[in-house]
Homo-oligomer: A and B are copies of this chain.
Amino acid sequence: MASPVTPTPLLKDELDIVIPTIRNLDFLEMWRPFFQQYHLIIVQDGDPSKVIKVPQGFDYELYNRNDINRILGPKASCISFKDSACRCFGYMVSKKKYIFTIDDDCFVAKDPSGNDINALEQHIKNLLSPSTPFFFNTLYDPYREGTDFVRGYPFSLREGVPTAVSHGLWLNIPDYDAPTQLVKPRERNTRFVDAVLTIPKGTLFPMCGMNLAFDRELIGPAMYFGLMGDGQPIGRYDDMWAGWCIKVICDHLGWGVKTGLPYIWHSKASNPFVNLKKEYKGIYWQEELIPFFQAAVLPKECTTVQSCYKELSKQVKAKLGKVDDYFIKLADAMVTWIDAWDELNPSGQLPNGKSRSHSASVPAAAKATNSDSIVE
């Protein structure tokens, strides 16, 4: 939806924007009207000695690999290197209630009327309105202006449930895998679908990390992007992995996941040959992963995201360990991730979505002298 830039943006002090990058962040210029009043967490991937330039006027903290290693110590092993999966470190060090994460090759898209789309504002609307995972509403998001629940929608379900995740889409370059990129090199997404919908309970989806927002207090500890890239047999499945995990956990805990608006403009297709190399194991592994996640059941005793996630890691080890040893390593990394999360977020995750004090913000890594100052 087109929206004018608001003078006081929504959730200004309750949301961090997390950007993984290996290059200067010139792309932020186009986002200035929408992002400048928010705080950025930049996770620098690759060579930590490289200097990443951030356009003037943005409020940010930046972490490179040295920072990650210093802050997490041995637990830094759970954070991927040379893969955008490293972005999840930013989720962990944030102290805000909400996270928006975006790739640095994504720009402001236009709606069919030619207006700039304020993607962040739409994500916030998605997160602040309930979800409806238990029954499908044929007019899509029933909470949107001009829409409601249709005839036959049970009244007992019309309050909805808290929304944990808002998954946005992409105009121009669609998020295709390497085989599809190779087969359809010129395909562009030009269709603006003016809808937001809740992905029903029990249904998995391919979550893309390019344009994604979530309630960190609700689902943050499950938003782990796995072990990808350097030293790992796989890449480009970081967001997929996280998406399958968060969906199973949201379904278990009764929270919603939305997809649809907002669109961003995805400018640059990644190299399909490089992607194929990263993906090929994932392409056949996912044939085992999807049935695994479709069948995954969490016990009633798991009432926090952390306990759900640790339980899921056990099931990953037990069932996917047979597929490849990689999943044993990944299951261990899932536990390490939770331990690191709890260490950096000692007050614990509030499972009921109540807001907590945000006064104890993490100092910028650039100013931190040792990890103690980070973990408070």
Residues of A within 8 A of B (CB): 112, 135-140, 146-157, 167, 169, 174-177, 179-180, 184, 187-195, 199-208, 236-237, 239-240, 243, 259, 279, 283, 286-287, 290
Contacts and interface: CB of A to CB of B under 8 A. Distances in A.
Contacts of A204: 135-136
Contacts of A206: 135-138, 150-153
A155 B243 CA distance: 18
B259 A189 contact: no
Contact of A287 (B155, B177, B240, B286): B155
A151 B167 contact: no
Contacts of A157: 290
Given A146-B187, A193-B194, A202-B200, A151 B135 contact: no
A278 to B, nearest CB: 11
A203 B135 contact: yes
B203 A136 contact: yes
A189 B286 CA distance: 40
Given A191-B194, A200-B202, A202-B200, A135 B176 contact: no
A154 B202 contact: no
Contacts of A193: 140, 193-195
A359 B225 CA distance: 59
B287 A154 contact: yes
A189 B146 CA distance: 7
A254 to B, nearest CB: 15
Interface residues of chain A: helix, strand, loop or mixed (majority): loop
10 contacts: A146-B187, A147-B174, A151-B180, A152-B177, A152-B207, A152-B237, A154-B286, A155-B283, A200-B202, A202-B203
Contact of A150 (B152, B176, B195, B201): B176
Nearest to A289: B154
A240 B152 CA distance: 6
A239 to B, nearest CB: 8
A97 B112 CA distance: 38
Given A149-B180, A151-B208, A174-B148, A136 B169 contact: no
The 4 closest A-B pairs by CB, nearest first: A152-B206, A136-B205, A200-B203, A152-B240
Contacts of A286: 152, 154
B189 A147 contact: yes
Contacts of A208: 138, 150-152
B174 A139 contact: yes
Given A135-B204, A259-B138, A152 B243 contact: yes
A184 B148 contact: yes
Given A138-B167, A138-B169, A148-B174, 4 more contacts: A112-B112, A146-B187, A146-B189, A152-B243
A176 B203 CA distance: 26
Best-surrounded residue of A151, A195, A203 (most CB of chain B within 10 A)? A151
A140 to B, nearest CB: 6
A55 B199 CA distance: 44
A26 to B, nearest CB: 26
A180 B148 contact: yes
A153 B191 CA distance: 20
Contacts of A189: 139, 146-147
A184 B147 CA distance: 10
A149 to B, nearest CB: 7
Nearest to A155: B283
